[in-house]
Amino acid sequence: MGRRRVPFIAPSWVAVLAAACLGLVLAGSAAIGRASVQYNDLALFAQVLDLVRDNYVSDVDEHDLMQSAVRGLLRELDPHSSFMTRPIYEEMQIDTRGEFTGVGIEITKVQGGVIEVVSPIEGTPAFEAGILARDEIAAICPTEIPEAWDEGESCRDTADMTLADAVSLMRGPRGTEITIKIFREGFEEARSFTIRRDLVQLASVESSRLAPNFGRLRIRSFQERTAQEVSEGLEKLHTEIPGGLAGLVIDLRDNPGGLLNQAVQVADHWIAAGLIVYTRGRAESQQEKYHAQVEAEEPAYPIVVLVNEGTASASEIVAGALQDHGRALVMGLQTFGKGSVQTVFPLGDGAGLRLTTSLYYTPAGRSIQEVGIVPDVEVSPTSDARGLFHGRTRERDLQGHFSHSDANQKGDVPDEEAAEAVAESAEDSGAEVEDQPERVDVPLVRAIEVLKSWNYFDHLSERRARGGGLAARDDGGAETTGGGASDSGSGEAPPAAP
């Protein structure tokens, strides 16, 4: 490569400079000044590149050096803008699509150890082949041997293999086979398992029935099929509970986010009309308002949204929209606070650019950047460890993040139509968390208690509206009406378990 890259770069900027000089006639001296700064900056970069290449203590790979420079350029912007090499970009696309061709196992690796199976994904080739959680993958024997392997090498131990290397080897065209050597407790030596690769789909939504007539949707991330999976999960719950859902828990804990359009479509299941979220960016194309498209598909049953410090980005959009519209009670811990939107641009050679292009705002015009979604009812996993959970990393802890005041300056007040559709958040009920064994999911238990008490007060209100209620007479002959709780108070929830 040598020095010939420098004159290749310079002429293109000479052309820019010439164009700027022409623009001087039309736009004045400011244009030529900007072009001159650009040219000088590029010349400085080329000079540094030359000096490093010719004088550094050891040889450097110019390609790696240039990619490091691009990464450094983006690192100065904000924590969420980044350059993605081809493998990272491909992995990001897989995460977004939620499907790939491979064997279907989640793996991990302890430094200096072999690759270990976290869990086989149910219904995948690895699951059908009998791979179990905590199996150790001692070696991988791919059908197509990588060019970098030594001649005659057909299998490679995983002790010196990275996770990325192992994933790359086990993925491949649908219908092809791969052999992995497994060691598990009870095996005297590693055994070979030959697995035929197939399409593996990663479900982002899990639905389950809680108690007699309550349901739970656990949304792990927002992928291309998440809204569809939510529809399927709700349909499953309605089938299992023919009498109708008495309440729903939407569990967004530790959901890192994902696709903005999927967050909008998910929230649209329960919001009848009005604004769901809007974005503000420098480019005109980034000024967007996302409204509910149709009347809410779901009946008006009570909803509790569970959140914690790992709830971020797209999941905060859903929680904020349901909270602003008064459609759900948000419970848990204050969320991560990522109020920015990233656009992914494909680059040459299969690389990609993730760039922060706008900030988003809830229907009420709130920016959650740095501050997150504040729950209506704060519930910690364990009361004794409350302080520990408040110490997790949030957006405000990331170096170079946008501040909440920066975000507010870019936003505006929602239009009147959207503002009218937004209801005030429910008041904090002051629920307390009792000491619980560590294995108990305390926030989920409390969510069910709130839904049960919610229904209790709804039924009580209906009875009082009809003039019903059991009448009883005390010793003094005074007539009293049972169920003397307030219609609107949340009160102390009766003890319950999911």
CA dihedral 324, 325, 326, 328 (to 10 degrees): -90
Residue 412 clears pLDDT 60, i.e. is over it: no
Set 251, 268, 324, 376: catalytic member: 324
* Average pLDDT of the residues of the chain: 77
Q: Which residues pair with 139 in a beta bridge?
A: 157, 181
Give residue 20's pLDDT: 39
Instruction: Give the separation between CA 318 and CA 439, rounded to whole angstroms.
Output: 28
pLDDT in tens, 144-182: 888 888 888 889 998 878 887 888 889 888 999 999 999
In this structure, is the dihedral angle defined by the CA atoms of residues 109, 110, 112 and 115, taken in order, positive or negative? negative
DSSP H or E stretch at residue 195 = strand 191-196
Which residues are CB-neighbours of 63 under 8 A, at least 6 positions away?
none
Comparing 133 with 319, the larger pLDDT belongs to 319
Per-residue confidence band for 245, with pLDDT thresholds at 50, 70 and 90: very high
Give residue 91's pLDDT: 81
Give residue 384's pLDDT: 38
Give residue 95's pLDDT: 78
pLDDT in tens, 426-453: 333 333 333 434 468 889 999 998 898 8
CATH number, span 205-421: 3.90.226.10
User: 275-281 and 352-361 as β-strands: parallel, antiparallel, unpaired?
Assistant: antiparallel
Distances in Å between the alpha carbon of 327 and those of 121, 247, 260, 274, 285?
Answer: 34, 12, 20, 12, 30
Comparing 202 with 473, the larger pLDDT belongs to 202
Reference 328, options 255, 392, 266; nearest CA is 266
Most confident of 13-17, 176-180, 419-423: 176-180
Give residue 488's pLDDT: 28
Structure token digits, residue 388? 């520990």
User: 177-183 and 136-141 as β-strands: parallel, antiparallel, unpaired?
Assistant: antiparallel
Structure token digits, residue 37? 């700064």
Comparing 415 with 379, the larger pLDDT belongs to 379
Set 338, 358, 453, 490: catalytic member: 338
Specify the amino acid at residue 397: D
Comparing 416 with 168, the larger pLDDT belongs to 168
Tokens 């009218």 -> residue: 420
Specify whether 313 is catalytic.
yes
Residue 207 clears pLDDT 90, i.e. is over it: yes
Average pLDDT over every residue of 340-367: 91
Give residue 238's pLDDT: 95
CATH H superfamily, domain 99-201: PDZ domain (2.30.42.10)
Min mean pLDDT across 311-320, 388-397, 480-489 is at 480-489
Which residues are CB-neighbours of 473 under 8 A, at least 6 positions away?
479, 480
Instruction: Give the separation between CA 198 and CA 137, rounded to whole angstroms.
Output: 19
The answer to whether 135 and 119 have CB atoms below 8 angstroms apart is: no
Instruction: Give the separation between CA 99 and CA 126, rounded to whole angstroms.
Output: 15
Q: Which residues pair with 258 in a beta bridge?
A: 222
Set 168, 207, 313, 358: catalytic member: 313
Min mean pLDDT across 92-96, 434-438, 463-467 is at 434-438
Min mean pLDDT across 19-33, 332-346, 348-362, 376-390 is at 19-33
* pTM exceeds 0.85 for this model: no
Per-residue confidence band for 493, with pLDDT thresholds at 50, 70 and 90: very low
Specify whether 109 is catalytic.
no
Sheet holding 377-378, edge to edge: 205-210, 214-219, 247-251, 303-307, 329-332, 377-378
